[in-house]
Structure 1
Amino acid sequence: MKNKILLLSLALCLLAFTKVLAQSKEWLTDTPDTSFNIARDFKNNIKKYPFIKIVPDSPSKAVTEVRNLVYGRVGGRELHIDTFTPSAVKKKPTPAVIIIHGGGWRSGNRAQHIPLAQHLAALGYASFTVEYRLSTEALYPAAVNDIKWAIQWLHTNAKRFNINPDKITVLGFSAGGQLAALVGMTSGLNKFDALNSNKEYPSSVQAVIDIDGTLTFVAPDAWETQNQQTVAASTMWLGYKRTENLAIWTEASPLTYAERNKLPFLFLNSAVDRMHAGRDAFKNMMDKKGVYVRIESFKDTPHTFCLYRPWFDPMVTDIDQFLTKIFK
């Protein structure tokens, strides 16, 4: 009898422990979240910055565009990617840039960065805007798996798009910046590689460009550390409150993998300090290791500065200079 009671108690404890460990599905709405979009953001920012202009989607003869290609499928769900390549025929394969949009892992879409992809392609970089599953339909690490999958797809299609698979940069803004940093710092690990048809190809990249994306959820300067009880976009993505499962918040923090990082980084930052958590600590670590890290700060700017002129053009110049330096 005592053994039965003991076994029952252990079973109940295990059940309770399992419930604690399970990611919460309460934020999986299966309904697209449109709360972050450029029209709404422009309306908010024009009050303080009356001179800003949205950078338009501007196709040109210098760039060959193919939109809405499918790079993967999850069940019946297609994952899309847009390609922007230099129209001029080049003898040597070109560097590639895969661009990840922002929106708190929950909103936004890849169309935000089509103008950036067009401008980079015109400068000679094959550029790709990628879709990934947001937290309304799939929790962490689905988005990371998807980006890795898209990179594998680039490796698979290197000849098709005349890209050099040894010169791939992952670039992201806001939540996309965090994803870019995480994908970059885990380059070479199988940890986040999805089980897919491209699994025989690597998901490795050679550089990271982080536009206002946090490097940590757990360091003292992280917004999440200072607001542990708040249910924020990061909570809805990770599936746990900050106080429930510190391990997964640590695992999702790019800074966790900094010791193994060898990739050059470019940080393009707004005046919103909380978006730079972990950046300075990371740079100090890389300086000691001799890994190239460049920081460009845009004074008196909103978080979404990269979407607007007058900041867009100097930002593109910074990206071009960085890529020229590391891939020359």
Structure 2
Amino acid sequence: MKVCFVGLGSIASRHIKNLYSLYGSKIEIDAVRSGKGNTQNHDIEKRISHVYRDNEAIPYGYDVIFITNPTKLHYTALERMHSHGRHFFIEKPVFETGEEDISKLKLRNDSIYYVACPLRYTNVIQYLKQKVDFSQVYSIRCISSSYLPEWRPGTDYRNSYSAKRILGGGVAIDLIHEWDYIRYLIGDPEKVCCLMGKKSDLEIDSDDVAAYIAEYPDKMVELHLDYFGRIPVRKLELYSRDDVITANLLEQKIIYGRTGRQVDLPEDRDSYQKKELIHFFAIVNGELTNDNSIVDGCRTLKIAKGAIE
């Protein structure tokens, strides 16, 4: 199998490592990048057959192309690479606004265009999907709070894409995982009210906080996202007919409030990232239907940006 990565940042390096762990010598990897630097990861460099620059002739005939460059460049990367590959794995968020003209891409009916959002493959979210009757849940409170300067040790947060609005930074887009797994668990809201802005003293020009209230026919959802929480929190609280269920993604556990019963669901990050890759290739092989298409990704992005009523 021949694959090509467009962009060689940290998420691309993780995918390359995991692909080799899963498929070994069955996979051949090329990369396309516009920068002049190295990956700074010699193990990853050794696994890449060839790196193409923008001004070089990129081969055709890739089985899968991974779009892993900055969000702002996803649309043009897909447009430019469309004729070079058959199937596409696009990092979240799918595009910059969700309002892009998909028809101009001339997508093929026999190709898979999958938008990555790996938190839905965590043990915690999978447990909720399989074990909870959401028809009995009246309200959900969800929060993702963390401190942006501590996200990427050894780098200056002020230079990250998260800090820069022009590169697609801001909590609404950066933390789109929350809206992805909410949609995965309970579908689309009928209405979303949203406030977002820059409120902290972080040296960024992107939004650092967003708060949502979403209405469903039978329930309400509250969601809080921020870049400035000094104690990391990522959890959901489900208020149901019979219990209050807390799903803690950082502590990797489920707690049933009334009885105190606790379900521990430990795993490392590569575990759920690999599960997503396995899921994607099952879609490519016709074993599963595509459950996160470009249309789905745009819908999630519009909700995250508060663009629906």
Per the normalisation by structure 1, the TM-score is 0.31
Larger radius of gyration: 1
Per the normalisation by structure 2, the TM-score is 0.33
Q: Between Structure 1 and Structure 2, which shows a larger proportion of strand residues?
A: 2
